[in-house]
Amino acid sequence: MSSQNLQGRVAFVTGGSRSIGAAIAKRLANDGAAVAITYHGSPERAAAVVDAIKVEGGRAAAIRADAGDATAVRAAVTEAVRMFGGIDILVNNAGIALGGPIDEITEADYNRMIAVNVTGVFVATQEAVRHMKSGGRVIHIGSSMVRYAAFPTASLYTLTKGAVAGFNRSLVRDLGPRGITVNTVHPGPTDTDMNPDGGPVSKIVGPGMAIGRYGKPEEIASVVAYLSSPEAAFVTGADIVADGGFTA
């Protein structure tokens, strides 16, 4: 059910065309926010997210921007501000997972992962907070793998998500005096395009799920919705693990 506690707010969600990003965009819109999402390779899915929000009476727009292209990310933030008049909530959701044994990871894959999962987060944050006022929210989507790496070949992915967690902690000191909170949500195994329930990874990690199932994108979105809300004004610098007890 919609609380409409984000009425009059503007959210910018990177990688909002599918899976967790799409669920976050829809939930924030359902709570009253105008939502701008970025996408790169899935224009049809981005359009579907926007249409779903508009059908429910919300405001939304999709902006094409490769999360690994700093210039494109900055331009997307500028465009969102032009469309909706500002940014109050930034959700750094865009991310990719390229992996393999440490001695086989290519420099090209390393550079691409850093560009999307680290540089993209930094640039989106730097640009968005220039438009934020007191009460702003910065929310990163990390990974429970920074606490527990359940399988091999994910060292590069975990490196990037660990960087985001460290960025979160220091950013709190920069933005706290401005009344802007900064938090990271660390999803555990969740049914997404990258890691579908029933896929190869689920056969490895599934038995470790304390509640006996994968998470749903909407369940991660509910945590983001709370952190975006007025009720979370005193929550900053937090690493919130939403993983069904996987790392307990």
Stated as kind and residue range, the H or E segment containing 240 is strand 239-242
Q: For residue 16, which of 5, 6, 26 has the smallest C-alpha distance?
A: 26
Centroid of chain to Cα 42? 17
Kindly report the number of other CB atoms within 10 A of residue 76's CB atom. 27
6 touches 28 (CB < 8 A): yes
C-alpha to C-alpha distances, 211 to 12, 95, 189, 233, nearest whole angstrom: 32, 26, 12, 30
For the chain, state the CA radius of gyration.
17
CA gap 132, 162 in Å, rounded = 25
Residues known to be catalytic: 157
Stated as kind and residue range, the H or E segment containing 64 is strand 60-64
